[in-house]
């Protein structure tokens, strides 16, 4: 799959899925600008990947839910890479609360981290891609946004919003050569879910038709497909589901 020389901006790059996508892109020939709010973890990721490919990995730590920070992110990525061919929005947050116990602040935090951040990044990057006449935008949603889950009404609403947003943006951006798609993973073996209740985590893998959760590297392949040519050239407004069979549309 050809992404040799492509310039990729990846948010949430210190997380399990973001890091796996960054590593696969780098090994497939891309140049990277990586972003995460966790500066220490991001430094570790950039250091490890830069050791593999000196001069092809850069990045900065910031909060992608903040409008001014996103503008700084895009400016820095442009300066570093000379343009942006691929945007992957892999940042996010999760919590677990019954709706009657959920404060508005928690609702807004989860919506902001998972939906506002996608809107801000896409809005900032799209003009660049339109001027180039080409680009790929890949949002990371979730199977919970497709099927729902108790105690995750806020997260489900946010991720369903990401899917709907991606479909609408795909129609808006396609005439300019920009292809927008989403990836909706199922359970993935990362630290993202570490603060969820034990009863939620227990038995999750066994309930999946495949019988196990995914490794981050197994999600990254979908992101490579959607960024590559010619393999990803006719994917538009799609939601790919590497979810161990949890959702079968």
* pLDDT attached to residue 137: 98
What is the chain's Cα-based Rg? 17
Domain coordinates of the chain in residue numbers?
Answer: 7-240
pLDDT in tens, 111-122: 999 999 999 999
135-140, strands of its sheet edge to edge: 57-61, 31-36, 7-11, 86-89, 135-140, 178-183, 239-240
How far apart are the two ends of the chain, measured CA to CA in Å? 26
In the predicted model, what is the mean pLDDT of the chain?
95
Pick the CATH number of 7-240 from 3.40.1350.10, 3.40.50.720, 1.10.390.10, 3.30.360.10: 3.40.50.720
Strand partners, 9: 33, 87
Contact 154, 106 (CB under 8 A): yes
Tell whether the model's pLDDT for residue 19 goes beyond 80: yes
- C-alpha–C-alpha distance, residues 76 and 33, integer Å: 9
**Angle formed by the axes of helices 153-173 and 117-132, nearest 10°:** 10
Tell whether the model's pLDDT for residue 192 goes beyond 90: no
Residue 211 is classified by DSSP as S
Tell whether the model's pLDDT for residue 197 goes beyond 90: no
Torsion of CA 27, 28, 33, 38, to 10 degrees: -50
* pLDDT attached to residue 52: 94
Segment 56-81 mean pLDDT: 98
- ∠ CA 174-89-33, nearest 5°, is 100
Q: Which residues contact 41 (CB under 8 A, 6 or more apart)?
A: 14
For residue 186, cis peptide bond before it (omega within 30 degrees of 0): no
- Low-confidence winner among 48-52, 140-144, 193-197 (lowest mean pLDDT): 193-197
Tell whether the model's pLDDT for residue 150 goes beyond 80: yes
Q: How confident is the model at residue 201 (pLDDT cuts 50, 70, 90)?
A: low
For residue 41, cis peptide bond before it (omega within 30 degrees of 0): no
* pLDDT attached to residue 100: 97
Segment 63-81 mean pLDDT: 98
Rama region for 236: left / alpha / beta (φ>0; ψ in -120 to 50; rest): beta
| Nearest residue to 159 via CA among 101, 220, 94 | 94
* pLDDT attached to residue 112: 97
Active site members: 155
| Tokens matching residue 9 | 């901006």
């Amino acid at each position: 799959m050809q992404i040799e020389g492509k310039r990729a901006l990846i948010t949430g790059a210190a997380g399990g899925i973001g890091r796996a996508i960054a590593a696969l892109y780098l090994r497939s020939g891309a140049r990277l600008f990586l972003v995460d709010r966790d500066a220490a973890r991001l430094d570790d990721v950039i250091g490890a990947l830069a050791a593999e490919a000196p001069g092809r990995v850069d990045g900065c730590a910031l909060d992608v839910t903040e409008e001014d920070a996103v503008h700084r992110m895009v400016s820095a990525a442009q300066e570093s890479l000379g343009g942006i061919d691929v945007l992957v929005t892999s940042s996010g947050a999760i919590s677990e609360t019954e709706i009657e116990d959920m404060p508005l602040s928690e609702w807004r935090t989860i919506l902001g981290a998972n939906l506002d951040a996608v809107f801000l990044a896409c809005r900032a990057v799209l003009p660049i891609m339109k001027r180039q006449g080409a680009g790929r935008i890949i949002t990371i949603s979730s199977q919970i946004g497709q099927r729902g889950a108790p105690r995750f009404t806020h997260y489900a609403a946010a991720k369903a919003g990401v899917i709907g947003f991606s479909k609408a943006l795909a129609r808006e951006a396609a005439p300019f050569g920009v292809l927008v798609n989403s990836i909706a993973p199922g359970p993935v073996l990362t630290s993202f879910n570490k603060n969820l209740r034990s009863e939620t985590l227990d038995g999750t893998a066994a309930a999946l038709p495949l019988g196990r959760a995914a490794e981050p590297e197994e999600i990254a392949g979908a992101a490579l497909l959607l960024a590559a040519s010619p393999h990803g050239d006719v994917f538009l407004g799609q939601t790919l589901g590497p979810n161990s069979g949890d959702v079968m549309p």
